[in-house]
């Protein structure tokens, strides 16, 4: 068995401490992420899906528990430092790109994710050919709009760009936070297909939150279900491949009882 | 004629203040009130330094540093103590008033008979008022070139991204706190520098000279934008200085119409308000225009 890249050990996040509303929004979570894992994450609203991503990204402090990267404790590492190994695509197309900067400028920014940014010239022109290649794989005309401000792109193009920005510098872990949810069904399917192609081709390690049971079954090698801040279901490999939508649905119905 | 040359000289000097405010107001999207304190602080620091025997050039650089320090305080209050930026600026602006009195030892200090950057052989050999034009062009050119270069660096791009989308910037590992502190520092440094040049131009520093500075600086930015419309970032920086000169012309015109110099702040505010209204008025006009066109076509 290979070593996990990333481990969450007994993570608890408590909010409203000392008040009657005190609640554990992460309740003793244990999760080990292995190289090449493509984990789809399901859960109803308030189950703790976004909290899980915020814990991994360092955006919210944990109450107790330990976070390990390659076996090293990074529990108190800042958000900025974690971007060296982590990248993220948000649900809202407006969140992932700088609207007044051009597509090429955004890509250039993301190419230095987690790295030192100094007084060296950015050398935008030298990157244009490479950016054209990278954007053309999305098949949505992005490659012809490299000098357009991203605020003028369609939602689909912006999300495709966000995805490219998250993967242009290979992340050790990629977090996709319902990144196709804000798009129309057609565009959503196209982006999901392109996402899957990129992840499989480049053997990326990825966690993807989704609301689509079909997507959760179709993509990835592992499926995790969250409920009330707990992991209630975690299957991988053949077991996941053989899972049917009916079984998954019945499982969700059990949760409600 | 000389009155126009004088207006150009003033416009250039105040252009530096406009560029300083551009960094926070337009790039970081901050309403930074610190400037009303850092402008007289630059003037006070410069004049006090000249009094204590520093060369005018050194005194002007000290003014930059003084302004920058005040800006850093605003930045720290905003990022580390989480005081809203508008309030943080007002706090530092208010505190700066007392600091400025301390620096000068009194409410105003004349540079009469003291060396300034305008008192050298070359500038004094020029026709009247051309000295401030030449000095203004040199300083504005240096400042604009440095900022344009900076914005093209990796750090400068991170700075722009911080203002454009802080969430994204953080997700790419950019320390938005550091960018905002830096922006407030450099911006107020430039405004202090502007204050030092204005003091040398006018021949004195006054503790009350900061009142209305933010309106004048905003007017430079907005007039530049309204007159030139859609521009690239570099062109916008240059447009600020041109806007600043145009603003001086407008003020000159208004004073020629017979308004009193005591009404200057009222006039400044009205000029800024009018220029901010123009895009709205034009939009309305265009809508009517197209509507009218559409009607006639169908006829």
Interface test with A, best of B165, B230, B232 (most A CBs within 10 A): B165
Does B169 contact A110 at a Cβ distance shorter than 8 Å? no
Report pLDDT for A109. 95
- Taking only the tens of pLDDT, chain B with its 299 residues reads 788 999 999 999 999 999 999 999 999 999 999 999 999 999 999 999 999 999 999 999 999 999 999 999 999 999 999 999 999 999 999 999 999 999 999 999 999 989 999 888 888 888 888 999 999 999 999 999 999 999 999 999 999 999 999 999 999 999 999 999 999 999 999 999 999 999 999 999 999 999 999 999 999 999 999 889 888 889 999 999 999 999 999 999 988 888 888 888 898 899 899 988 888 887 777 665 665 665 554 44
- Which residues from A are below 8 Å from B160, CB to CB? 98, 100-101
What one-character DSSP code corresponds to residue B25? I
From chain A residues 33-72, the ones with a CB under 8 A of any chain B CB are: 57
Q: Tell me, yes or no, if B234 comes closer than 8 A to chain A by beta carbon.
A: no
Which residue stretches of chain A are H helix?
49-57, 79-82, 103-111, 128-136, 155-167, 185-202, 213-218, 237-241, 245-256
- Which residues from B are below 8 Å from A103, CB to CB? none
Which are the contacts of B16, defined by CB distance < 8 A and separation ≥ 6? B139, B140, B143, B190, B191, B193, B194, B197
- Which residues from A are below 8 Å from B174, CB to CB? 80, 109, 117
Pick the CATH number of B2-298 from 1.10.287, 3.40.30, 1.10.3470, 1.10.40: 1.10.3470
Listed residue (A105, A131, A97, A146) closest to B233, CA to CA: A105
- Taking only the tens of pLDDT, chain A with its 257 residues reads 588 999 999 999 999 888 888 889 999 999 999 999 999 999 888 888 999 999 999 999 999 999 999 999 999 999 999 999 999 999 998 999 999 999 999 999 999 999 889 998 888 999 999 999 999 988 888 999 999 999 999 999 999 999 999 999 999 999 999 999 989 999 999 999 999 999 999 999 999 999 888 889 899 999 999 998 999 889 888 888 888 888 888 777 666 54
The CA-atom distances, in angstroms, between B262 and each of A124, B104, B244, B259 are 50, 25, 20, 8
Grouping H, G, I as helix, E, B as strand and the rest as coil, residue A21 is coil
From chain A residues 110-149, the ones with a CB under 8 A of any chain B CB are: 110, 112-115, 117-122, 124
Report pLDDT for A257. 47
Q: pTM here? A: 0.90
Report pLDDT for A244. 84
Q: Tell me, yes or no, if A159 comes closer than 8 A to chain B by beta carbon.
A: no
Q: Tell me, yes or no, if A88 comes closer than 8 A to chain B by beta carbon.
A: yes
Nearest chain B Cα distance for residue A112, angstroms: 8
Does A122 contact B157 at a Cβ distance shorter than 8 Å? yes
Do the beta carbons of residue B23 and residue B187 sit within 8 Å?
yes
Q: Tell me, yes or no, if B208 comes closer than 8 A to chain A by beta carbon.
A: no
Report pLDDT for A75. 93
């Amino acid at each position: 068995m290979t070593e996990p890249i990333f481990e969450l050990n007994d993570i608890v996040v408590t909010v409203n401490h000392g008040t009657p509303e005190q609640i554990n929004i992460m309740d003793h979570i244990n999760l080990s992420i292995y190289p090449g894992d493509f984990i789809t994450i399901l859960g109803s609203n308030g189950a703790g899906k976004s909290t899980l991503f915020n814990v991994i990204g360092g955006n919210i402090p944990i109450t107790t528990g330990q976070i390990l990267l390659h076996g090293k404790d990074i529990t108190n590492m800042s958000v900025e430092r974690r971007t060296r190994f982590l990248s993220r695509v948000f649900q809202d197309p407006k969140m992932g790109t700088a609207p007044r900067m051009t597509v090429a400028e955004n890509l250039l920014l993301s190419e230095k994710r987690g790295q030192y940014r100094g007084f060296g010239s950015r050398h935008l022109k030298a990157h244009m050919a490479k950016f054209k290649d990278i954007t053309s794989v999305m098949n949505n005309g992005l490659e012809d709009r490299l000098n357009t401000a991203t605020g003028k792109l369609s939602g689909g193009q912006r999300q495709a760009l966000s995805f490219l920005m998250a993967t242009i510098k290979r992340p050790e872990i990629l977090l996709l936070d319902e990144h196709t949810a804000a798009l129309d069904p057609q565009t959503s399917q196209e982006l999901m297909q392109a996402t899957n192609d990129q992840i499989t081709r480049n053997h990326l390690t990825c966690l993807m939150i989704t609301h689509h049971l079909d997507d959760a079954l179709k993509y990835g090698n592992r499926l995790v279900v969250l409920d009330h801040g707990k992991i209630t279901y975690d299957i991988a490999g053949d077991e996941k491949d053989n899972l049917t939508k009916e079984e998954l649905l019945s499982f969700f119905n059990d949760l409600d009882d | 004629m000389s009155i126009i040359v004088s207006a150009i000289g003033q416009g250039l000097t105040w252009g530096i203040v406009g560029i300083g405010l551009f960094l926070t107001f337009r790039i970081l999207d901050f309403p930074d009130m610190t400037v009303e304190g850092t402008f007289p602080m630059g003037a006070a620091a410069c004049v006090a330094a000249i009094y204590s025997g520093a060369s005018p050039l050194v005194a002007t650089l000290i003014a930059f540093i003084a302004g920058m320090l005040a800006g850093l305080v605003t930045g720290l209050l905003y990022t580390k103590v989480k005081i809203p930026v508008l309030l943080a600026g007002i706090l530092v602006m208010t505190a700066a008033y007392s600091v400025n009195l301390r620096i000068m030892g009194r409410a105003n200090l004349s540079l009469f008979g003291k060396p300034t950057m305008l008192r050298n052989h070359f500038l004094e050999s020029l026709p009247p008022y051309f000295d401030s034009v030449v000095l203004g062009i040199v300083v504005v050119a240096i400042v604009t070139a440095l900022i344009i270069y900076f914005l093209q660096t990796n750090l400068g791009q991170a700075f722009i991204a911080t203002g454009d989308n802080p969430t994204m910037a953080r997700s790419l590992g950019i320390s938005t706190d550091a960018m905002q502190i830096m922006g407030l520092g450099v911006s107020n440094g430039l405004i202090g520098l502007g204050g030092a040049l204005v003091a040398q131009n006018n021949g004195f520093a006054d503790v009350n000279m900061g009142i209305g500075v933010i309106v004048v600086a905003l007017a430079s930015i907005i007039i530049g934008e309204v007159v030139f419309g859609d521009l690239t970032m570099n062109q916008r920086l240059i447009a600020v200085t041109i806007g600043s000169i145009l603003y001086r012309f407008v003020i000159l015109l208004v004073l020629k119409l017979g308004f009193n110099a005591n009404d200057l702040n009222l006039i400044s505010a009205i000029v800024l308000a009018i220029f901010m209204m123009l895009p709205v008025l034009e939009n309305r006009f265009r809508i009517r225009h197209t509507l009218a066109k559409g009607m006639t076509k169908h006829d």
